[in-house]
Structure 1
C-alpha cells in the first residue's frame, strides 16, 4: 500500500517569498504569454518537495516542466492546474504525484493555494504565505503571486470569486 508523503509547506513558502518579486532563471517566464502565476505556483510546490508527475494517460493528467518545449498545461495554466491537482488522487487511487482537495476558506494553511475564478474557471493562482490571527480568530491570509507580482499581499483585498485548494501531500512509487 502506498503511503502519503509530507508536503514541506515552509519550504514552498520560503521559495514563494524569495521569488515573488523576481524570476528564478532556471524556469521560463510566461508573463508575456498569458501570465506567470501558475508557473510560479508549480515552482513553489516543487520547492515544497512535491515531485513532478510524468505518469498519466495524457498531458492533462501529468504535471511537469523540463523546459518550455517539454511541459504540461497543468504546470502553467490555472484551470488545467486545478483539474489536475484536485483530480489526480483520491484515497483509493494508484496515481503518482500530488494529493489535494478543495478546501474551505477557514481551513487554509501556509503553502495552500487560492485561485481567482470567473464563470467556474480559474484564471489566476496564488500561494498562501501567512495566516493572520488575532488570538484564535482568523483575520486574513497573505499571499504571494506572479503576474502583478505581489509579496505577502492580503488575500481579502483580491477582488472576485475565489477557490481554495488544500495540499495534503504526494504519493510516489
Structure 2
C-alpha cells in the first residue's frame, strides 16, 4: 500500500476535488461537472435535485450567487481495499431575489468510497448517510406510535391543566421536572391568565441550537420534531402533561432508563395531528393554505410521498424578499433553508405540506 502519509495526501487531494466539484455543481446547476462520478444512483439523485431547484428558482425569480462547501472528516476505514470516508459537508449558499440576498446553511453527512485505479484513487460510490426521509419510518416504529383519536380520549381522561413555560434554555430538566405534579409555579393560572407566544424568542432559540443539540434535552437520531417542539416551548407554549405518550404535548426526558415524552413532542406525524386538532387551551394552531401566510415561529410539516404520513417538521425563522418562509430544522441541520425543501434528496413530485400558524395566546 505504500507509505501511509503518501496515501493520506492522495486521499485528501481527491476529497478536495470531490467537494470542490460538488460545490460547482450546486452553484452553476450544471450536471456537466458530474463527469467522472461513477456512482450512477448518486448522479441521478443530484440531477433530480438540480431539476427541482431550477424549477423553483425560475418560478420565484431566485438566483444562486455564491456557494461554499466545507468537509469535516468524521471517520475513515479501509474495507477490502475500499477506503470509506464519512464526511460532514457544511454547505453555505447565498441567493438573490429583487437585488436582496440571504444565506442558507445545512450540514449533510455522506460516506464516500475510494478504490485504487492504477496509481490513483477514484470515487467508487457516494452514500447519503442521513436525509429527512431516510430514518422517519424506522423512527415511527421505534417510538411505537399508536394512532389514537385525541378527542375521544379527552372525553374519558382527566387532563391536568397546561404547564406554563419556565426559562427553557438552561437547566430545563432539574427546574421543571423535580417530580410529577410538584411544579405548581408553572401551572396554568386559575384566574385564566394567558401567555403570549414570543416569536422572537422562538427564532433566537432556533438560531442558537440549529447545528448542535441542547444538552438540556435528549438528542434523537431523528431529531426534527424534538427540535421544533423545543423551539415552540422556548417561545412560551405551555406543555400539556398527561403522563400518556399518545396524549398531550410534553417532555420529561430519560428517567430510570425509560423514555418520558409524548409522541407529539418527538414524532413528526404526531405533532402534525396535534396541531390539526382544535382545542380551547394550550398549544394551538390554525392550518393556513399558503406558506406566505406564516409568521416567525410557525411550523411546516412535510409528507414526502403524499401518502398522508408526515415525516418531517421545520420552524419558520426568516423570510425571502418576496415573503416566502425560510426555515430551521434538525436531522439534517439546516438554517434559513427555503421552505419547499426541493434541495433535499427526500423531496419528490408527490411531496405535500401543511402550514400551521401558531396562536398568539395560549
TM-score over 0.5 for the pair: yes
Cα distance, 1:2 vs. partner? 4.8
Report matched runs for 1:62-73 at 5 Å.
62-68=248-254, 69-73=259-263
Report matched runs for 1:106-125 at 5 Å.
106-117=292-303, 118=305, 119-125=307-313
Give yes or no for the alignment of 1:9 onto 2:195: no
Partners of 2:361 and 2:284 lie apart in 1 by: 5
Cα distance, 1:157 vs. partner? 3.8
Give yes or no for the alignment of 1:42 onto 2:229: yes
Give yes or no for the alignment of 1:129 onto 2:317: yes
Q: As a proportion of its length, which structure holds more strand? A: 1
Which TM-score applies when normalising by structure 1?
Answer: 0.82
What is residue 271 of structure 2 aligned with on the other side?
A: 81
Q: Structure 1 stretch 60-69 or stretch 146-155: which is displaced more?
A: 60-69
CA RMSD of aligned residues (A): 2.0
Which TM-score applies when normalising by structure 2?
Answer: 0.41
Contact 1:110 1:128 in 2 (8 A): yes
Cα distance, 1:168 vs. partner? 0.6
Contact 2:200 2:296 in 1 (8 A): yes
Give yes or no for the alignment of 1:61 onto 2:252: no
Partners of 2:208 and 2:308 lie apart in 1 by: 31
Partners of 1:54 and 1:79 lie apart in 2 by: 19
The count of corresponding residues between Structure 1 and Structure 2 is 158
Give 5+ residue unaligned stretches, structure 1: none
Cα distance, 1:14 vs. partner? 0.8
Contact 1:64 1:75 in 2 (8 A): yes
SS in 2 for 1:15: helix
SS in 1 for 2:241: coil
Contact 1:17 1:152 in 2 (8 A): no
SS in 1 for 2:321: strand
Cα distance, 1:15 vs. partner? 0.5
1:60-100, Cα deviation, whole Å (9 max, x unpaired): 331111113221111000111111122151xxx3xx41111
Match of 2:333 among 115, 130, 149: 149
SS in 1 for 2:274: helix
Kindly tell me: are residues 10 and 65 of structure 1, through their superposed partners in 2, closer, same or farther at Cα, counting changes over 3 Å? same
Match of 2:355 among 155, 160, 164: 164
Kindly tell me: are residues 170 and 60 of structure 1, through their superposed partners in 2, closer, same or farther at Cα, counting changes over 3 Å? farther
Cα distance, 1:154 vs. partner? 1.4
| Structure with greater Cα Rg | 2
What is residue 100 of structure 1 aligned with on the other side?
A: 285
1:16-64, Cα deviation, whole Å (9 max, x unpaired): 1110111100111111xxx1000000000111011111148x5333111
Report matched runs for 1:10-29 at 5 Å.
10-29=200-219
Kindly tell me: are residues 162 and 8 of structure 1, through their superposed partners in 2, closer, same or farther at Cα, counting changes over 3 Å? same
Contact 2:195 2:236 in 1 (8 A): no
Q: Which has the higher contact order (CA 8 A, sep 6+)?
A: 1
Contact 2:299 2:315 in 1 (8 A): yes
